Amino acid sequence: MSTATPSSAEAQSLTWPDFFRARKARRRFELFTTIPATLIAGIGGGTYFFSLEGDSNKPIMGIDPLYVYAIAGVGCTGLGYLLGPSIGSSMWRFMHRARLQVLDARERELHRRIVKYRVPPELTPANNPRLPDFYGEKIESLQGYRKWLREQSRYKQKMRWGDIEDDA
């Protein structure tokens, strides 16, 4: 496997709509691997911890063992939920390793554009800290990117007009 960066011709072979379709497919794959990871971890942890015998006369850290085991079983479920997207991302990257460099190059380019055009945090007032999709997580298509750009521009314009009115 070559570690060279893709040439501009290779990057051009992946159009933006194709990139967004691949990105959407990756996110869906991550979501769908979260479900079985959560179930497997929950069932496995629950089976293990509920099969342990707990003596209520011997508390664990001052807590009844039944409660400790129940919390540990729920903790295993939560751990499966947290690890599911990472497992899904690794699996997706392994299955698409032939186009991975080109996809990563497009992802870096999209990130550069998001950083360039997003609303600067210093324009946000302290009493309303909500920025419109600061990281561009909801962008799923070329039209979605254009809509994101319009929202960012609209928010910048509102904040600049608001700053002018405050100074007057």
Angstrom distance (rounded) from CA 165 to CA 168 = 5
Q: 137's torsion region: left (phi>0), alpha (psi -120 to 50) or beta?
A: alpha
pLDDT score, position 91? 95
Angstrom distance (rounded) from CA 133 to CA 135 = 6
pLDDT along the chain (168 residues), means of 10: 52 84 94 95 93 79 86 95 95 94 95 91 70 84 93 84 47
pLDDT score, position 164? 37
CB 131 within 8 A of CB 154: no
Backbone dihedral angles phi then psi of residue 49, each to the nearest 5 degrees? -70, -30
CB 85 within 8 A of CB 30: yes
pLDDT score, position 11? 54
pLDDT score, position 136? 87
Distance of CA 63 to the CA centre of its chain: 36
pLDDT score, position 12? 57
Backbone dihedral angles phi then psi of residue 145, each to the nearest 5 degrees? -65, -45
CB 118 within 8 A of CB 136: yes
